A and B are shown apart, each in its own frame.
Chain A
Amino acid sequence: MAELKYESPQTTEAAVALLAAGGPTARVFAGGTDLMVQMHEEMIEPTLLVDIKRISETRQITFEDDYVRIGAAVTGAELGEHAELKAMWPGVVEAVELIGSYQVQGRATIGGNLCNASPAADSVPALIAAAARVVIAGPGGVRDIPVEDMPVGPGRTSLAAGEFVTSLLLPKRAERAGDAYLRFIPRTEMDIAVVGVGVSVTLNPDGTCATARMALGAVAPTARLVKAASDILVGNKLDHAVLEALAEAASDACSPIDDKRGTIVFRTKVAGVLACRAAAIAWQRAEKN
């Protein structure tokens, strides 16, 4: 039997050193809501768990000049209770709040949702739509990358050996901006997204779209940014023709699989439906700001 060790370092440097020394079977432990299940089901057998929750940077939400920094180990429940952040990025916060039950919310972290690299992770399309960046600490120092560059396949990230995510950076929201995230699940709660759509827009004073980003989850090996969405939306209002084009662009961006959670046909169709609904909510929010 492989021995499992547990460490809870208090500094980023100590965590990096432990992870680097621990090799490929070392795992970052934050909320544990994915890792504990994988260990229980014997899908993974780590030899070292590095609990990052005692590193203060991972547990804080701070407003800096150009962005908001969200610690990687901030939980869904904490994000949901943060009125200022929720007002600024309601779509991102709602996406995180959709993950699991209240019980899971008390533990599941935004960084964990990203690093677990599930194609269906709820926070990821919302973060991509929000143009969020990931701050990564590693043996070579600190770097940051766009969220969309983080997952590279189901369960796989672009993190190098010894690296871990310390925080996420969300831009400060502009005027007349809004975001939204919607997902489809077969029940009302406790399911994994069959399709997820995040949309973020800013509007011109005349009500036309100034900038737009849309991302899809659960319809490809990784969450993906739908570049065509911005071409369709920018300069336009959300009329019937634009919505139709948006739905088509969303469906076209899908390359899903048939599995226990949904079919190719269903996912492709519903991606278009949710794209329109999420865009409408984001638009409404933008108009109110």
Chain B
Amino acid sequence: MAKNFVTTTINGDEVEFASYPGQSLLDVLRSELHMTGTKNGCGSGDCGACTVVLNGRPVNACLVLGVELDGAEIETIEGMATGTKLHPLQQKFLDHAALQCGICTPGILTMAKAFLEKNPDPTESEVRYGLAGNLCRCTGYDKIVRAVLDAAADMRADG
């Protein structure tokens, strides 16, 4: 099947890939670019494990086509830490034990980061609704919500 050539920016780097029509961004990231930090949980936009930021908005990578991304800017979990310094959300997830198996963690972190950029001072309820598109089966969400609220407070303090 003929592939289209696509040029994008991923985590600040120019990345070129070839993609056949019908291939999802998730599949491009994982199979073509070997960026497996973005997880595959359902393929139907219901679990949020594949959350990435596309042109400034969080999206399910499984519901985006690779071929439509020419010129797009994409952020994934692999770009969240700065060098070896973890993002405050990543650190707070560790501090609060906000993960067990960890499969949902990259998607939740990516969503939480995008959410806090829009709403830096959320209530508990707003965090819960903000993360409603990310299933976690292990934690019962309690420690995740606490970690996001705590990270938000720190990020506000740091301006």
Contact = CB atoms under 8 A, between A and B. Distances in A.
Tell whether A pairs with B. yes
B62 A36 contact: yes
A8 interface: yes
Contact of A32 (B51, B57, B65, B129): B65
Interface in B1-24: 1-2, 4, 20-22, 24
A6 B45 contact: no
A37 B44 contact: yes
B32 interface: no
Contact of A102 (B2, B64, B65, B111): B111
Interface string B121-159: 000000001101110000000000000000000000000
Nearest to B133: A101
Contacts of B115: 102
Contact of B68 (A37, A51, A104, A106): A51
Interface of A (DSSP majority class): loop
Interface in A1-42: 1, 3-6, 8, 29, 31-33, 36-37, 39-41
Contacts of B22: 4, 6, 39, 49
Given A36-B63, A189-B132, A190-B132, A102 B58 contact: yes
Interface string A103-128: 11011000000000000000000000
A190 to B, nearest CB: 6
B67 interface: yes
B132 A104 contact: no
A103 B65 CA distance: 15
Nearest to B114: A102
Contacts of A103: 45, 48, 51, 58-60, 63, 111, 133
Contact of B24 (A4, A36, A53, A189): A36
Nearest to B51: A103
A281 interface: no
A8 B132 contact: no
A140 to B, nearest CB: 28
Contacts of B60: 33, 101, 103-104, 107
Max count, chain B CB within 10 A of own CB: residue among A1, A5, A6, A51: A6
A55 to B, nearest CB: 13
Interface string A36-61: 11011100000001010100000000
A1 B1 CA distance: 9
Contacts of A107: 57, 59-60, 63-64
A46 to B, nearest CB: 8
Contact of A101 (B43, B67, B132): B132
A48 to B, nearest CB: 9
Contact of B20 (A4, A37, A104, A106): A4
A94 to B, nearest CB: 13
Contacts of B80: none
16 contacts: A5-B21, A6-B65, A6-B68, A29-B68, A32-B64, A33-B45, A36-B62, A49-B22, A51-B65, A53-B68, A77-B57, A101-B48, A101-B134, A102-B114, A104-B45, A107-B60
Given A36-B64, A100-B133, 18 more contacts: A5-B21, A6-B4, A6-B67, A8-B68, A33-B60, A39-B22, A53-B68, A101-B132, A101-B133, A103-B45, A103-B51, A103-B58, A103-B60, A106-B57, A107-B63, A188-B132, A189-B129, A190-B46
